[in-house]
Amino acid sequence: MELYLVTGGAGFIGSHLAQRLAKEGHRVRVLDNFSTGHRATVSRLAEVFGDRIEILEGDIRDPDRCRAAAEGCRAVFHQAALPSVPRSVTDPLTSHEVNATGTLNLLIAARDAGVGRFILAGSSSVYGDAPRLPKVEDMPPQTRSPYALGKLAGEEYARLFHELYGLSTVTLRYFNVFGPRQDPNSPYAAVIPLFIRALREGRPPTVFGDGTQSRDFTFIDNVVEANMAAVRARDANGPINVACGEQTTLLALLERLYGIIGRRIEPIFEPPRAGDVLHSRADITRARDLLQYRPAVDLEEGLRRTAAALEDSGP
């Protein structure tokens, strides 16, 4: 069995990747410091898959821990990050240390360990508020937050490690990923679990801005498929958008959730948050051409699955 490293494997996206790899019969080493990921999540995976799941507690800011994690791995799925634009605005230094320096630590470790493929979780936030839609990978970045800038720095390091050292790297620029295991209780929780939890509890959801801002919401299963394809497509490098290629406003998102949950509660509007972008929609041509990527789960079905999972998980 081949060994894969999933950093941030106790978190939302990382745990889904670890589960998929283990289901396919691979061994998975999970590196996580459990600052945002949950021990219970990865412990449940270990109960199901036994010794196919190895849990390594550690921080990507620690070069020694990164070296230990990369040793013997065929590929690295680097999902560990300190998420949230608002958090990065409040604490830019920690955001940079994790998202930029932590990525550099892992790239060095992967290079030195002879890892065959390095898949970096990028972010659509690097496009900022560039007016052109859809967002295409060759657009000049226009970062608007320390989070976006840190993710862009990680991308550039990945590109350089490919060019300078021959490490096979690719960056998957995620667009607003959502799905089961996304924590609605975090102070930096994403909008979909927050909306669902508020409606279920009979509270008005909070919208920052006027609600006409739009996003390309992408269900977790689509992101997992893109990562699996990126391991196989070794000649694909540079940034690749991972999304559905669709644009949905927050108000339209709420309308869909009203129908799914069966309850309408008008939102509360708050001022826009610093660093947030107004509109986002991906061009996914490159993903189709290089990864044969096709988003299999659309927004409506993804919302239904997410709402059902949050109901099952309870408060």
Structure tokens at 17: 């990747």
* Residues of the chain falling short of pLDDT 70: 187-188, 312-315
> Is 25 within a domain?
yes
> Is 208 within a domain?
no
> Is 309 within a domain?
no
Helix axes 191-200, 250-261, angle to 10 degrees: 40
In angstroms, the CA 254 to CA 100 distance is 34
> Is 171 within a domain?
yes
pLDDT at 187: 65
pLDDT at 252: 98
Q: Which residues contact 50 (CB under 8 A, 6 or more apart)?
A: none
Strand partners, 174: 123, 242
In angstroms, the CA 276 to CA 289 distance is 30
In angstroms, the CA 226 to CA 292 distance is 9
> Is 139 within a domain?
yes
> Is 251 within a domain?
no
pLDDT at 315: 40
Q: Which domain holds residue 153?
A: 3-178+219-244+283-296
> Is 100 within a domain?
yes
User: Is the pTM here over 0.85, yes or no?
Assistant: yes
> Is 306 within a domain?
no
pLDDT at 314: 46
> Is the link from the previous residue into 134 a cis peptide, with omega within 30 of 0?
yes
Q: How confident is the model over 174-224, as pLDDT tens digits?
A: 999 999 999 887 766 789 999 999 999 999 999 999 999 999 999 999 999
Can you give the CATH number for the domain in which 234 is found? 3.40.50.720
φ, ψ dihedrals at 171, nearest 5°: -110, 125
How many structural domains are present in the chain?
A: 1
